[in-house]
Amino acid sequence: MKDNLKSSHDKFKKLNKDRLYRGISRKKKVKSCLSPTYLEELSNRLHLPADILAGAPVITATGRNEVRVENYKGIIEYTENLIKVQTKICKVCIEGKHLNILYFTEDEMRITGHIQTIYYG
């Protein structure tokens, strides 16, 4: 008796594919890099810096020997050649030689050494 009860859904789906799925787009919508986010748009309208509203990381490099990172969450990795910091938005990686964290507070840290690269991951 189980052999007589087969689902015809797949067959129906193949026959009526064009009619049923015409309005459904399977492509993912990709946001343009140029379109501002909600918080960026709000900060523009209120004439406030974006880092205040969004908690965006502020990275200030002074020459090749000092970097200040503001608005970070925590330290992921800390070695002599690499320091990875987690921010609210992304990871910030600082590569170099003889890297040292001079101080860090809840919101800010100061890194010294011979800095070669700063990148976001």
What pLDDT does 107 receive?
Answer: 86
pLDDT in tens, the chain (121 residues): 555 666 666 676 667 666 655 555 555 555 444 556 776 777 778 877 766 666 788 999 999 999 999 989 999 999 999 999 999 888 999 999 999 999 999 889 999 999 999 999 8
Does residue 6 belong to any structural domain of this protein?
no
What is the rounded distance in angstroms from the CA atom of residue 67 to the CA atom of residue 102? 10
Question: Considering the domain boundaries, does residue 30 fall inside one?
Answer: no
Range of the domain at 99: 57-120
Residue 75 CB neighbour total at 10 angstroms: 14
**CATH value at residue 94:** 2.60.40.2000
Q: Is residue 42 part of a domain?
A: no
Residue 40 falls within a domain, yes or no? no
pLDDT of residue 121: 83
- What string of DSSP letters covers 40-77? HHHHHHHT--HHHHH---EEEEETTTEEEEESEEEEEE
- How many domains does the chain fold into? 1
Determine, yes or no, domain membership for 13. Answer: no
pLDDT of residue 32: 47
Is 20 a domain residue? no
Residue 87 forms part of a structural domain: yes
Structural domain includes residue 83:
yes
